[in-house]
């Protein structure tokens, strides 16, 4: 008899989540200068590009892992909630990944830090 939990897995969701996590890993590597990226324009430093690469890596990796986790436990695509029978550790990891995504997106909010730090108004 086939494993019942394997039939509940959503392999399309798992695959797409894994793809997003791999894209995030690439941007992490770009942020650390370990993967190729487009060169910075002449006369500009790479520091902002590196920071953006790390933030994009954080958002894609955490989001991809959260999607993969949802697919692995067979969560309903129509709901943002995990199944009622999901283990507590799964829920803890899932919500922490969501917090990482939200933090990464908040850190890139326009005008939240870079313009004010340089004395420019928006």
Residues 6+ apart with CB under 8 A from 66: 17, 94, 97, 98, 101
Please report whether residue 117 resides in a domain: no
Domain span including residue 53: 4-108
Total of domains in the chain: 1
Residue 91, exposed/middle/buried by CB under 10 A (0-12, 13-18, 19+)?
A: middle
pTM over 0.85: no
In a domain, 115, yes or no: no
How many other CB atoms are found less than 10 A from the CB of residue 10? Answer: 18
Q: How far is CA 49 from the centre of its chain?
A: 17
Domain membership flag for residue 89 = yes
Per-residue confidence in pLDDT tens, the chain, 122 aa: 444 454 578 899 999 999 999 999 999 998 888 988 877 667 666 556 688 889 999 999 999 999 999 999 988 888 888 888 889 999 999 999 999 999 998 887 776 555 445 554 44
Question: Looking at the domain assignment, is residue 14 inside a domain?
Answer: yes
């Amino acid at each position: 008899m086939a494993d019942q939990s394997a039939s509940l897995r959503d392999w399309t969701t798992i695959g797409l989540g894994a793809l997003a996590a791999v894209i995030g890993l690439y941007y992490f590597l770009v942020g650390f200068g370990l993967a190729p990226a487009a060169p910075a324009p002449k006369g500009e430093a790479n520091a902002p590009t590196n920071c953006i690469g790390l933030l994009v890596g954080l958002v894609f990796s955490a989001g991809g892992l959260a999607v993969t986790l949802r697919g692995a436990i067979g969560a309903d695509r129509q709901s943002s909630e995990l199944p009622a029978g999901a283990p507590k550790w799964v829920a803890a990891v899932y919500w922490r990944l969501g917090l990482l995504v939200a933090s990464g997106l908040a850190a890139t909010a326009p005008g939240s830090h870079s313009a004010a730090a340089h004395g420019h108004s928006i």
